């Protein structure tokens, strides 16, 4: 009974996190060219404050529920991940997700120490965008690809 709860929490948290990253990359970058610099700065500051308050909780739910799903259902598969296409893709998904978490921790450390620069933020957003695409493809592939 816990697995469906973890799955639902994991999916909702993934929607929020992926949606936030996609919004920042696909929308904010194009809006930047259309708004005055001062207005865009205020928009980015407001979104940034909200994201820094919300996203840590989203990631806690995302990784907590994902860990719960692994614990309840996928530990045997991960014991020998190369034995099946599902296990291999799940392990790759976990590795990419760990990289996402590392990106987030580095970004938070840079913000807290006042060393976050626009070019770092742009790089992190682009990298997270690519990571999200890979994770979604791996998540779907786990259930549809076999070899």
| pTM, 2 dp | 0.91
| Tens of pLDDT, residues 37-81 | 999 999 988 998 999 899 999 999 999 999 999 999 999 999 999
The reported pLDDT for the residue numbered 48 is: 87
Distance CA 104, CA 106 (A): 5
- Structure tokens given for 85: 């296409």
To the nearest 10°, report the CA torsion of 8, 10, 14, 16. Answer: 60
Distance CA 130, CA 99 (A): 11
The reported pLDDT for the residue numbered 118 is: 84
CA distances (Å), 131 to each of 45, 96, 100, 135, in order?
Answer: 24, 7, 7, 6
Q: Report residue 29's pLDDT band, with 50, 70 and 90 as the boundaries.
A: confident
- Cβ atoms of 63 and 105 within 8 Å: the answer is no
Distance CA 132, CA 62 (A): 13
Give me the residue label for tokens 């992926």: 18
- Structure tokens given for 47: 């979104």
CA distances (Å), 13 to each of 46, 106, 111, in order?
Answer: 21, 20, 23
């Amino acid at each position: 009974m816990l697995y469906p709860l973890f799955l639902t929490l994991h999916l909702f948290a993934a929607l929020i996190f992926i949606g936030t990253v996609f919004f920042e990359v696909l929308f904010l970058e194009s809006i930047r060219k259309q708004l005055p610099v001062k207005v865009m700065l205020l928009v980015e500051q407001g979104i940034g404050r909200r994201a820094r308050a919300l996203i840590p909780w989203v990631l806690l739910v995302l990784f907590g529920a994902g860990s719960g799903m692994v614990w309840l259902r996928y530990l045997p598969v991960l014991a020998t991940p190369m034995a099946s296409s599902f296990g291999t893709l799940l392990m790759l998904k976990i590795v990419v997700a760990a990289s996402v978490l590392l990106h987030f921790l580095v970004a938070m450390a840079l913000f807290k120490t006042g060393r976050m620069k626009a070019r770092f933020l742009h790089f992190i957003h682009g990298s997270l965008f690519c990571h999200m695409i890979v994770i979604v493809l791996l998540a779907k592939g786990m259930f549809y690809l076999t070899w």
